[in-house]
Structure formats: C-alpha cells, structure tokens
Structure 1
Amino acid sequence: MRIATTALVLVGLLGLAPVPAYAGRGQDNVSATECSTKAARIDKDFPAGGFATCSASARRSFQLTIAPEDEGEINCSAWYAFRLTPRRKGEVTIDLDYTRCGHRYWPKTSSDGMNWTRLPEEAVQVAGEGDDRSARLSFDLGKKPVFVAAQEIVAPSDYDAWLARLANASSATRITLGQSAEGRPIDMLEIAAPGRQPRETIVLVGRQHPPEVTGALAMLPFVETLLEDSDLARDFRARFRTVVVPLLNPDGVVHGHWRHNTGGVDLNRDWGPFTQPETQLMNGVLESIAADPENDLQVLIDFHSTQRDVFYTIPDELPTDPELFTRKWLALYQERMPGYPVNRDARHAEGRPISKAHVYDTYGAPGITFEIGDETDRELIRRIGREAAVALMVTMLETPPQ
C-alpha cells in the first residue's frame, strides 16, 4: 500500500515542489553510524536516522540494535530509520533487535524521502512477544538506495516548506518563537483575518514526541482547512485567532529520538515546570495570551500518535470556558464522520504536567490531546484532520462571543 507523506501532501494540496525529507538546512545533518559488506551499506546519516549499533554477520545479513536515546524512563515508541544502499543485486536480511520495549512500528520504505510504502507482509517476520518482539526484514536489492523507517520521515525541512507556503496567505503570519536547545528554529503560524485583531485565541501544538508522525499528518490538513477560502473559514478567521506551533521538538526529530528532547526530557511532562527551552516557548505563548486583557484562550489542541485514534480530554463535569466545548465539538465531528467511531477518554489529574491538564488548571480552558493511531489509513487521516477542523469552526462560531 502506498502512503502519502507530508511532502507529497504538500505537493498535492499546496502546489509545492517536492522537498526530500532528508534534504534541509545544515542543522538537519547528523553524524553517521554505519556498517557495510560487499553486498550493501547501511547508515543513518540523514535527519531522523535512528539506531544504536549496526553490524554484519555475513555478506547479506545485517543486525541493527534499536535503543532509546537515554537510560531514563521512556515511552515505548521504538523508532528506527536507516538507509540501505545496494552494492550488488540480490537479497539481504536485516534484523531489528531492541534493548527495550520491542518492535512496534510496521516498516515503511521510500526511494526519495517523499513517497512511502508499507513493506509487504511477506518481507517482515516478527518474533517474540511484548518487550521481546524483534523483526527480520528482507529486501531485494535494486540499483538505488532505499530509506527504511518506522514511520514516514517528516523532518524540519518539510515543516519549513509547509510554513513558507501557508505564510503566503493573507490571513497567515509566520513568526519564529525562538530556538531549540541545539539552535533549530521553532516557528509559529498565526492565523486571523487581515486587519482584524480577534480576542478569542485557539492554540494548536504538534510533534512534542518525535516518532508521532500520524498526529502530524492530521495536523497539516487541520490547519490548511482553517485557511480555506470558504464562508465558514472566513467567518472563523474574522472572529478567532489561531496560533499554530507544529514542530516543538525539532532536535528530537532530527536525532531519531523515541520520546525526549536533547535534554533527556519528555516535553509533554514538562508543562508546569517548563525546564526546557522548547516548553518555555509554549509557556510564553500562553502567558502572553493571559496577560492581554483583549485576549482570551479558548482551547488548546495537542496532536499526538498512539496505537489507536482517540481524544484525551477534560471531563464534561469540570467547568470550562467555553462551556462544554469539547462535548459539542466531538458530537458534531462524529456526525460528519458516519461509520467512523470517535473515541473519547475523558479524565483529569490536577497538577499533572501535560499540556491538556496544565491549560485547564492554569487558564480554565479545555485542553485536548488529539491522538491518531500508528497505522491508521493515511487517506483517512487527511479526512480526520479536515472534518475535525470544520467541526471545530462550526462549534466555536456557535459559542457566545467573549
């Protein structure tokens, strides 16, 4: 099955020239760990490349050790990405062995970094259970290198191209909030009707966790829908300002981390403490909204990935402003998605340092974690992003003005 990646979606929807996921600004480069035989070479010298060690036990047999970025507590998002460069025709096998957590993601392949395909079932052998799951991948070598990754690679250069295109719209302004720990830019897109200064603000954030690509694939069409030339979108932009921070953890993405930034911190466990430069930027965004008497935070939506499509939300029993927004939004979204079950998990632990809890505890606004399944069909993900955005605009416009 062919998968439309971010770069391809940009070409199709926005008319951009293709931007390979591994080609970008100089800061995208990372040092290589590699191994080679007379048959092939394996390396990770590209953005998001990730494995711990590489060895070859025979000319056509390779072993990759997949390990997290540090020894601390970590979510089992066992990311891997490597480039296989052929030297001779024939079949090679690559064993993926995990120091922790076991095999999770079905491998995807690409020859250009833009068009991705799930590796066929007959080419993947998974053995073991739970933390002991390993995988053996088989490849028939051709003439060109092939990229193999846990998910499609969506690198900082992809976001750069996407933001550059969207910033051409009259209702969009691109702003550099600041820098990551390693000096990569963290950008924000501000959406509002030109000449208007809406007092009601919606905040969207993405990619706190590097491997969570499907959340990003939903966020892109979600944002693009807010910028459409429709009566609904124009009315929405006239009344509401939307602040979009699509890539909060660029360092973790470039280094192929499972979960953390380069400070060894899960950014979505740092809302409240704000010990990291990346989360400090988000805190600044929220505090600037709160400090402005002409501005009100309405909702924060944080895009993620997990094993299934689900919304993690604040319970309806907790008072929010706008009142019962989440229930109304998701009810309308379900109406727009007949035959597709909208799953909601409503809970709240006061003081928990995650985005949705912090926003509610501090500002009384609903916080929502928008999760997309690892293997959710990519065309369905695009529809999810669009329909969720339409439902959001309708629901927000029905709320009484602040």
Structure 2
Amino acid sequence: MIGRIPMLVILVASLGLWNPSPILAKEVAETSPKCETRAVKLDTNFPTGNIKSCVTSGKKRLNITLAPEDAPPINCSAWYAFRLTALKPTRVTVNLDYEACGHRYWPKISTDGVTWTNLKKKWVKIEEVDGRKRARLSIKLGNKPLFVAGQEIFPPSKYKLWLNHAAKSPDARQWLLGKSAEYRDIPAMTIKSAEATPREQVVLVGRQHPPEVTGALAMLPFVETLLEDTPLARKYRARFETIIVPMLNPDGVVHGHWRHNTGGVDLNRDWGPFTQPETRLMDGLLRKIAQNPDQKLRLLLDFHSTQKDVFYTIPDEFPTNPPLFIRDWLKRYQERMPDYDVNRDARHSPDRPISKAHAFETYGVPAVTFELGDETDRGLIARIGRESAVAMMETLLATSAPE
C-alpha cells in the first residue's frame, strides 16, 4: 500500500466529514473522451483526469492514447488519470500507449480518491516498442467506480481542506495570492507568531508542474512541522515569517497536464521573463518583500518530483545571505536521517529562468529545488518533510539576524 494522503485528509475522512464528490467533479466544463462497451465505461470527468483518446476492442479491452498538452514535451512527465465503471464485477485490460516519452508512472488505483494502492506487478506488463515504453494493465473492477492514475489524485479541493485546517492555528493565516489564467484561486498561507512581526521571510512554493504529487506529499508535513507546538517551532515562528504557495499551477493540475499551465508554458522556465499570470504573482510577492525595508528574504524552497530524491542547490562557493546555509542545513538534515542518504546536486546556470536561479541571482538568497522521487515510499516522504523542516528551523535560527 502506498499510504493515504495527506494525513489530515484521512483524519477528516475517518470522521465521516469528508465528501469526495468535490474531487470527482470536473471544475470546468469539459468533454470526456467517450469509451464504453457493454461491460465497462471510461471517463475523465474529474479534476486531473486526462487522456487523449480511447477506443474499445471487444467487451473488456480499452486502448488509451496519451499525449502531452504541448509538443515537444520539455520533460517526460507522462501523466494519465481516468475512471472505470463496470456494469458488474469483471476484469478488463487497459493498454496505455504514448505519443511521446513513454510510460513513466506506476499505475495507482483508488475507489474513493483518498486511499491509493499500487496496481500489483503481476497485473502490469511494460514493453518497449520503437524505443518507447507502453503499458498493459489488467484491472479487476467491482461494484464501485475505480480511479486509475499515474500518481495519487491531488486536486485543488484537497489543498483547500488542508489549508482550512492549518489556518486554525493562531500563527497561520490563509489568503489569496491571486488568480490563474482560467481564474482559479492560487491560495497562500503565512505562518508567523501572532505576537511578533518577523523581519525575515522564507518562501515555499509547490506544484508548478501538475503531476509532481510527491513534492506536495513532502511539502504538507514540512509546513505542519513549522506549526507544531514545540519550543523549536515557536522560536522559529517568532523570528521568521514563512509564506507558502502550495499550488502555483491550479489550471494545469485540474486539466491533468504533463508539465504546462494553460498558456502552454512550463512555469519553472518562466522565472525572469514572467510571461504568465501565475509566475507574475510570484514575482510580485518577492518584489514586495525586497522593497520593504523592514523585511528580508532569507530562503526559497521549490517542491518538485523526479525519478529520485535530490536537492538541486546553489554551489557552496557562490556567496549567499545567509552564508553557507544550504551546506549547514543539509548536513544537519543528514544527521537527523542517519539511515537515509541525502542526495545533493549543486549547480547553477544563471541563464536558466527557474525559481532557484532567479531567487539567487536577483536576491542573493539560498534557493533550492526540493525533489522527491516518483515512487519514493510515502511514509518516507512524510518523514523527509518533517525532518528537513526541523533541520531548516535549527539551521536558520543559528544564523545571524540581518542588521
């Protein structure tokens, strides 16, 4: 079993307060590819649902074609999400064929959008044709509709639920950063002591890329750790203000895009040009901090997913303020995770319009792309989120306050 996500969602679900219907209804009017036999039907009428097309072959075989929202794909984040409904319990075959990149995400299944499990290996056949991987899935269907997706479905409604819960803390305030191109909310939250006015700001951003769910699964426990009622967290909140933008690309999330927003742009290739409404909001946020003489940006963390756990960082020889924070943070984090190898890739390309490079080049601060593996154990991801947050607070509190 993968595990349930996030823990707060599961708590609410277990109390009978969670109605999954907001997750299962598309938030924009769309036409789902029609694919139906006398035994089973397929649809994508829910947030993150996306395939290009589907054709049937007999009563129990569906052939799905998957394609990126824009070509050529800048990154092979080959997303898919669909729902299968059987007229009666049966087993069906689903073929996943890709116009680009090939199969990447191991199929995951759920009947409620909350609890997810990996489809067992014996029911998945991966083969390579003309240098591109495709997948054949054998799926047992019961009386309930079954969701099949590349990663757990994590739509805007789950962020809203989580933010509403977190904002009950007296040290948290939920607010709206702005609207996306399709006028969806881009939520934000500020964490700081209710009795203090911190001068130092830490900015966390997530979900620039729609399928990168494991980054979100680390970000949530990371933030929850900052809100804990511990001496360390209270001391941190008294000195630092943390601004969280957990889902910068809600349009891409809802549409089930592989990489882009609805403007056909990879948002993490638009920091500098700022051609898109979503990245312009982040530019405005960072500028506002920089222009306030009573505030000082100290760190930017950008949560993502890739094939492995890795921190993409600024090299230590590049001066940042605070100095050598990344080195000291990751050293402390490794000490807290002795049974886990912290993987760091330190590089900098000043011409790349990504969040990490822009924050360093423009504001001189440490900036990190925090990557989680696509298939990293979900329990380990939660631990990574917690322990890296503790190490971050300890390391930041050990730095000198700005004059």
Please, what TM-score do these two structures have when normalized by structure 2? 0.96
Change in Cα spacing, 1:135 to 1:218, as seen in structure 2 (3 Å) is: same
For 2:111, give the aligned amino acid. Answer: S
Q: What are structure 1's unaligned runs of at least 5 residues?
A: none
- CA contact 2:2–2:377 (8 Å) conserved in 1: no
Partner Cα distance (1:347, 1:22) in 2: 41
In structure 1, the partner of 2:385 is: 385
Change in Cα spacing, 1:93 to 1:219, as seen in structure 2 (3 Å) is: same
For 1:36, give the aligned amino acid. Answer: E
Q: Which moved more, 1:336-345 or 1:134-143?
A: 134-143
SS of 1:370's equivalent in the other structure is strand
Task: Write out per-residue CA displacement over residues 159-218 of structure 1, whole angstroms, 9 at most, x where no aligned residue.
Answer: 011111111110011110110000100011001000311010000000000000000000
Partner Cα distance (1:12, 1:373) in 2: 25
In structure 2, the partner of 1:12 is: 11
For 1:310, give the aligned amino acid. Answer: V
In structure 2, the partner of 1:274 is: 274
In structure 1, the partner of 2:135 is: 135
Offset, 1:91: 1.7
Partner Cα distance (1:24, 1:291) in 2: 42
Offset, 1:13: 8.8
Offset, 1:243: 0.3
Task: Write out per-residue CA displacement over residues 19-39 of structure 1, whole angstroms, 9 at most, x where no aligned residue.
Answer: 528537873564312200001
SS of 2:382's equivalent in the other structure is helix
- CA contact 1:30–1:255 (8 Å) conserved in 2: no
Q: What are structure 2's unaligned runs of at least 5 residues?
A: none
SS of 2:162's equivalent in the other structure is helix
Partner Cα distance (1:95, 1:266) in 2: 28
- CA contact 1:21–1:155 (8 Å) conserved in 2: no
* Identity between Structure 1 and Structure 2 (%): 57
Partner Cα distance (1:53, 1:245) in 2: 33
- CA contact 1:33–1:45 (8 Å) conserved in 2: no
- CA contact 1:5–1:115 (8 Å) conserved in 2: yes
- CA contact 1:351–1:361 (8 Å) conserved in 2: no
In structure 2, the partner of 1:195 is: 195
Change in Cα spacing, 1:26 to 1:61, as seen in structure 2 (3 Å) is: closer
In structure 1, the partner of 2:36 is: 36
Q: Which moved more, 1:18-27 or 1:386-395?
A: 18-27
Please, what TM-score do these two structures have when normalized by structure 1? 0.97
- CA contact 2:24–2:46 (8 Å) conserved in 1: no
Root mean square deviation of aligned Cα: 1.7
Change in Cα spacing, 1:188 to 1:24, as seen in structure 2 (3 Å) is: farther
Change in Cα spacing, 1:382 to 1:117, as seen in structure 2 (3 Å) is: same
Q: How many residues were matched structurally? A: 401
- CA contact 1:252–1:261 (8 Å) conserved in 2: yes
- CA contact 1:22–1:155 (8 Å) conserved in 2: no
- CA contact 1:101–1:130 (8 Å) conserved in 2: no
Partner Cα distance (1:51, 1:99) in 2: 11
Partner Cα distance (2:255, 2:99) in 1: 18
In structure 2, the partner of 1:183 is: 183
1:321 equivalenced with 2:316 (yes/no): no
Partner Cα distance (2:175, 2:89) in 1: 48
1:146 equivalenced with 2:119 (yes/no): no
Q: Which moved more, 1:156-165 or 1:13-22?
A: 13-22
